[in-house]
Structure 1
């Protein structure tokens, strides 16, 4: 039985950053358990390979959500990374931090040290920003390379001109002073290759002798002595493999993500007593583990395109060979792109004090409104979603079998506010696609279609075809011990237990106005200082006028 100072379960975005930071001390040993394989597959590193990794079960947990009352009885696909780098190895490459008020709200909920001024230094420490950005907000010396899309497409340009015509300004840096506006996407792609948590943080750390990474290691249970976590049991090779134990001299850290971290806690006897007893698991400690799941839900408005080629055509036949040659020789062209190219942040109505809508534009369209399978006809797509949903669901074990996928119920659109905002987003998406600058290329609206006009009709369309944006969070929420909903404290230690932390997107107490990868890395970076007992980085001095 091997012993290490820290055992980290999950080599995703958080686990990679933690491993890098904790192993800076040569006297500290770190063991990382990853259920999936190494990130060797070429589709991981080819940006356009996102389309392929989306369904590759060898590197993807490929979960399915439970049908909800506002998803038309559909079970929505929920991919999550299962390889070194986790979801940062299969995601859409987007780098998006969120708004200042997101993190200030975390602090207002009783989480000391998690306000925007507190976390901004960690965002800056992580990144190496190539491109525009004020030094107050952007980092230049970190491991995570962040670039702006450099492929100029006439449809993207026309879309942004259309946004400006509707009063939405261009914003050179939505991760800077303010998020509102429209711009090309910032992404974790450099020289035509994906920059994942593994390539940016884990691989450099693996050169150190005190880092031990074990792949194909499916964690099955946390080992306790009394109330203290002292190790992890896992199956080497997955189901049918052989059991192994590793011990932690200092701490066990769960970084499996918003589905897998609560699942492992529940399998280890931490959670709702009723749920655990239902599956024959002895209750070690009662906590609301898995409750509070939030995600962004997006209907995608699709228009047919005329008089110009879209990605739908460029990815076929001779055109694809040309694009492949561009990538092979120059690391440029279609294969070097993220699936989303333009971001737009705006208001669903006049009463919203800050942008509550996030919209994305792609000069492509997908079958049945689902990313991952391009259509044959030329098309363009605007996905629109509410940034701060009120609806909450849950993640619960299906059985005591650690290889059974968890029950994932997101309860999309359960809150009336969410339904109202999603309708506002679809209406704005239609206005953007029908704006004058896009008119030379706009043929007609394919979905939801010109016959959809009332709020009820828009809502029905959202119910019929909306999907996840792959941003699950909030299932092991951070908060004070006297709150009924919190699982970890503001040091990310599990309430009522010792030697155990959760460090990933599951600790977010409330959904942020953004994709989650950037903030998950920030959480891990700040947590690394908490674990090591280091003084936190000095809070940022932010101009009063800033509303990022």
Structure 2
């Protein structure tokens, strides 16, 4: 049996940050466990390599949801990173934090200490802003590099300009005073290379003698006595062994795997655990509940013009074949794209009527996305993806009743709430309004999806039921709070009723932030690690 002071489960967006902060004290022994490999691959470091990561089981868990009853019982792909860096090693690198009302809303739900004014200094501490944005909102001395895109495609700039027609101003800082408007996204990159939580926080310190990193290692369950975690069972190369914990176990497995580990260990709803023949060590009915994600739709347009990213006879020599040389010589060209180069936030008429923040987010891709679901389509075009920022529908992550204690049933319960349906219908209409602007006249082609025959709200909703999916921002399954469904306490991130078990990842969010969730997850880890150290030295 191997013994450590602190055992961190999951080396993703959160786990790498926690490992960095805790191991900075040479008196602390830290073990970081990751089910995937080291992630050191050109597919990961080159931004355009995303194309080869989603669905690649070397880097992606490739989960699949249960049939979504409000989406014609379709299964939804749930891509989550499986490597050092976790989902920050396979995502689109967009740097968005959410807005003031997101975090102040957490406080209203019982999460004291998590207001916008509380978390903004944490974001600033972690950030190394290379864009020259306002010091009121940004930091410049942290580890997480945030930059402009190296070689943004001109069609993305057309999208930004077209927003004026829809009443959407250009926004050069979505993490500043207002999210409203369109712009070219800032990204977590350094000189045209991906910046993940691994490259930012773990790689520079992985040689610390008090830090042990275990890859290709899966956590089976936790060993619990009363309110204390004694250690955990792991499996590597088919061999199981035990790790012992002197101080604490910290779950950073993410929204899917952190509740999976708790449930497999007997922490969850007593009746559900009994049905799985798992001894209930601690009755906590909120584990695995409150799953939320941004449901997403697509409008995609064909174009005869070759200005967008795409493979055609016109682009084969100037862009496709020369892309590797442009990238390695000057960090320019198509290999620098993160695909979702532009985007922004808008208010549908529902948000305007309620006088609230933007309720939809756009991710604009300056390339044609297949209306047939193909991975590759010959030719050119452009696409807008629209997601519901603050969904009211919530689902769950449960253990499958197959005896494995490892397989999960992921149910987003998308569109369970009618307001989400209405918001996304209005979001698609807003996206079409932008694409109809005169700025797109020189690129205009046929809208392949939804298609010109889809016009009424009822027709759009039916299109969404047939095609909508996740934008890969799951949160909430170990939510913090003080109500009966809360799993961790806001002041400590300790699992309710447990003395030395904490959760520090996106699963603790009581509700979704407005935008991409990677940066927010790192912030949670930074705050959580500070809680551990304060308690240790207190």
TM-score bracket, shorter-length normalisation: over 0.9
Show the counterpart of 1:356: 359
Which of residues 293, 296, 299 is equivalent to 1:298?
A: 296
Contact map agreement 2:264 2:406 (CA 8 A) in 1:
no
Show the counterpart of 1:102: 102
Q: Distance in 2 between matches of 1:535 and 1:341?
A: 43
Contact map agreement 1:312 1:374 (CA 8 A) in 2:
no
Show the counterpart of 1:456: 458
> Secondary structure at the residue paired with 1:367?
coil
Show the counterpart of 1:271: 268
Give the unaligned 5+ runs of structure 2. none
The alpha carbon displacement at 1:534 in A equals 6.7
Residue by residue over 1:444-494, the C-alpha shift from the partner in whole angstroms, topping out at 9 and shown as x without a partner, is: 2111111111111111111111111000000000001xx121011002100
Q: Distance in 1 between matches of 2:58 and 2:172?
A: 38
Q: Distance in 2 between matches of 1:509 and 1:12?
A: 20
> Secondary structure at the residue paired with 1:442?
coil
Show the counterpart of 2:474: 472
Show the counterpart of 1:506: 507
Show the counterpart of 1:257: 254
Show the counterpart of 1:366: 369
Contact map agreement 1:53 1:60 (CA 8 A) in 2:
yes
Show the counterpart of 2:35: 35
Q: Quickly say closer, same or farther: Cα 1:339–1:393, change in 2 above 3 A.
A: same
- Structure 1 stretch 313-322 or stretch 435-444: which is displaced more? 313-322
- Structure 1 stretch 504-513 or stretch 350-359: which is displaced more? 350-359
The alpha carbon displacement at 1:437 in A equals 0.6
Alignment of 1:115-154 (within 5 A): 115-154=115-154
> Secondary structure at the residue paired with 1:158?
helix
The alpha carbon displacement at 1:97 in A equals 0.4
Q: Quickly say closer, same or farther: Cα 1:321–1:49, change in 2 above 3 A.
A: same
When normalised by structure 2's length, the TM-score is 0.96
Which of residues 384, 390, 393 is equivalent to 2:392?
A: 390
- Structure 1 stretch 520-529 or stretch 166-175: which is displaced more? 166-175
Q: Does 1:325 align with 2:325?
A: yes
Q: Distance in 2 between matches of 1:213 and 1:428?
A: 47
Q: Quickly say closer, same or farther: Cα 1:534–1:128, change in 2 above 3 A.
A: farther
When normalised by structure 1's length, the TM-score is 0.94
Contact map agreement 1:369 1:465 (CA 8 A) in 2:
no
Residue by residue over 1:353-378, the C-alpha shift from the partner in whole angstroms, topping out at 9 and shown as x without a partner, is: 211110111111223475x8232131
Give the unaligned 5+ runs of structure 1. 537-548
Q: Does 1:281 align with 2:281?
A: no
- Structure 1 stretch 149-158 or stretch 111-120: which is displaced more? 149-158
The alpha carbon displacement at 1:150 in A equals 3.7
Q: CA RMSD in A?
A: 1.7
Contact map agreement 1:254 1:261 (CA 8 A) in 2:
yes
- Structure 1 stretch 66-75 or stretch 428-437: which is displaced more? 66-75
The alpha carbon displacement at 1:72 in A equals 2.3
> Secondary structure at the residue paired with 1:312?
coil
Show the counterpart of 1:189: 189
Which of residues 423, 426, 438 is equivalent to 2:425?
A: 423
Residue by residue over 1:369-394, the C-alpha shift from the partner in whole angstroms, topping out at 9 and shown as x without a partner, is: 75x82321312100011100000000
Q: Quickly say closer, same or farther: Cα 1:470–1:447, change in 2 above 3 A.
A: same
Contact map agreement 1:280 1:400 (CA 8 A) in 2:
no
Q: Distance in 2 between matches of 1:433 and 1:401?
A: 50
Contact map agreement 1:132 1:173 (CA 8 A) in 2:
no
The list of structure 1 runs, each at least 4 consecutive aligned residues, that deviate by more than 3 angstroms after superposition, is: 314-319, 399-404
